[in-house]
Each structure stands twice: as C-alpha cells, then as structure tokens.
Amino acid sequence: MFENAEIPLEDLPQAVDLDWQPLDRAYRSRLIVDHLITLAFLVAGLIAIILFVPGIDLPRIAALTGALVVIAAIMMAWPFIALPRMGYVIRDKDIVYRSGVLWRSVTAVPFNRIQHVETSSSPLDRRFGLATLKLFTAGGAGGDLKIDGLAAEQAEQMRALVLEKTGASIESR
C-alpha cells in the first residue's frame, strides 16, 4: 500500500547548513577580463558617437561618459559581489547550486532526473583553466542546471561522478 507520510518542517535540511563549495578563484579574473572586453566595445561606441554624430554637444558627451564610468564601476565590482554568493554542494542523491545577488536562487537536481551531462569551455575559459558543467534533466524546460566557473579538472570529475550516480557509462573524451 502506498504511503506518503508527512515530514515535520524542523526535520527538513536547511540550505544554509550546507557545506557550500566556492567556484574556482580564477573565475573572478575570467569575469573581469570578460567585462573589460565588453567595456572596450562600449568605449569604442562612445568614441564613434563623439566622432561621427554631427552636432553632439559637450553636455551630452559628458552625460554619456559619466554613464559609461558608472557602468564600468558596476561591471568591475560585480565579480567581487556575486562570486561569494555562488556555490555548489554534491550530496548523495543530488547536486545543489546557488547563485544570485538581487534575485537569489537555490536549485537542487536529483541524480535520478539527470539524462545527460556535459562539460564545455570557451576560449576564455580555457585560458583560465575553467569549464562549465551542464546537467540536462528529464521533464523538459527549466529543469537543467549549468555551473560556470569550475576548474576544468573539477568539472570533469563532477561529470564522471554524475555519470556514475546515474548509471551511465563514461565515454572517452
């Protein structure tokens, strides 16, 4: 006979009690370089506006430059603000990932729901020795998990662990 016993709220595990593993330290540098590349394009756009837009006056140039300075300050500070709030935990039956500064989220993906797992890395990730672990789950959209900023070796070890937990064979890379 099927039973679905009630669990007292005080018996539920608390997410704050988890031993959160931080993302790799190189991820901060990688984000800063990524933001610097974006800022270079924004500065180039500002220069193009100044040089090629006829009749742009000094107050507008000052306002655009001021806005760019504010954006640059936020972009450079963001990795220092966001990374301490990101992390993951691998438990017996699932992987838990937290992220977010303004909109925080904690996502738990049970191993028995995972259908596919992969690691990937961009050229910039490879320059910093980083990789992304992607978990694809059963049940359609919104159930997938992506963990950026892992050391490449750690991401591969996690991929192998997930494959072991899900009973899949580990294919050679």
**Are 65 and 131 members of one domain?**
no
User: CATH code at 118?
Assistant: 2.30.29.210
Per-residue pLDDT tens digits for 5-64? 888 888 776 666 789 999 999 999 999 999 999 999 999 999 999 999 998 899 999 999
* Domain contains 171: no
Number of domains in the chain: 2
- What 3-state class would DSSP assign to 123? helix
Residue 81: how many other CB atoms lie within 10 Å: 11
The H or E element that residue 39 is part of is helix 26-52
Report helix angle 26-52 to 58-82, nearest 10.
170
- Using a cut of 0.75, tell me whether the model's pTM lies above it: yes
For residue 56, the enclosing domain spans 26-82
DSSP 21: B
Triad 95, 112, 104: Cα angle to 5°: 35
* Domain contains 128: yes
Per-residue pLDDT tens digits for 76-96? 999 999 999 999 999 999 999
